[in-house]
Amino acid sequence: MAKKFTAAAVQAAPVFMDKQSTVEKCCALIREAASHGAKLIVFPETFIPAYPSWSPDFSERSGHWIHSWVDYYRNSVTIPGEDTDKIADAAREAGAYVVVGVSELDARWQGTLYNTALFIDASGRIMGKHRKLMPTFHERLYWGQGDGSHLKVFETELGRLGGLICYEHRMTLPKYALFTKGEQIHCALWPGWPSAPDFDLRENMDITSRALSLEGQTFVVLSSMYFSAEMVPDSFHYKNKAQWHSCGGSGIISPLGGYLAGPVYDQETIVYADIDLSLIPMAKAIFDAMGHYSRWDVININLNEQELGPTDPGRAAANIRTLLAELKESLRQLSANPNAISPAELHEARSLALELANLTQAELEK
């Protein structure tokens, strides 16, 4: 494991709704970052083909939005596919790990898109992906929900690498799940979405990304998009009906919560900083979220890592595991103080046991 290496947070604009050209730009930026010694290169949320800042106008016919969605669909990325092959080749030639945000088309069902972070190693191998668990606000018009099978931390020669997308950084439990997997380097993908007079996303990105570094004692490579209305073709129906300015705000944060580089706003650039993993024990000396400063006996989480689909073979197994865990905990509490068992507690334990037995029997009879 490399103790020290250079990371790059790419702050750039896609070629709007042009997958092929944006993939080419992505590969060029990988080569540029690698020429500066970067071994980890992180791109913004849905860099390919663009962040969908527009939404339907319900006072008009739906045809305009449907056509825009189909165009977005056609420019989304299949994993793996020809587009990811090109990015993987660029990563291999650069000898760098690459994390890039894409709108992913699920090749199996061909009707659902996902907001996805794609992880590629320095040999050009796709390590995996993370699908955003909960699309935010209008994003639910475009993307489906991810599941726990993609909430991963990857063992790499640089360290243990994970990531989340945008407002997932405000979701306590997914962050904690990555901490339990020993994440050391966190990739934070943001769209640099427009601000409003009473709401500034710059503060959201800054606060939540730095908070994660403090909570998990991890490095954070924050990559946020820069974009402006001038980059949208005049022919696009929603050009004058959406806020397009994405401010950026990319930077690299230490496990002590301070910026090693950035944040940088309102320009296309690449932010570089050296990551030295020997800083992590320093951050954990006083506060270790997964060790001496944790109380798993008081608070812990249940993580369902089953991949869900239309036939959903994993849900019954996941339910059985959940019920079994609840029953074990109930029995542990009862056995800890057998002289103070109430009728309600006995009833709860009996109900859990019966539910588990019925569910298990149903599975055995299939």
**Active site positions, annotated:** 45, 132, 166
Identify whether the C-beta of residue 328 lies closer than 8 Å to the C-beta of residue 288.
no
**What is residue 242's three-state secondary structure?**
coil
How far out from the chain centre does Cα 166 lie? 7
Q: How far is CA 292 from the centre of its chain?
A: 27
Q: Do the Cβ atoms of 187 and 99 come closer than 8 Å?
A: yes
Return the residue matching tokens 């990015």: 87
> How many Å apart are CA 221 and CA 9, to the nearest integer?
6
Checking DSSP bridges between strand 38-42 and strand 269-276, what pairing results, if any? unpaired
Q: Give the orientation angle of helix 82-94 with respect to helix 19-35, to 10 degrees.
A: 10
Query: Which bin fits 124, alpha (ψ -120 to 50), beta or left (φ > 0)?
Result: left
H helices present in 150-260, as ranges: 172-180, 201-216
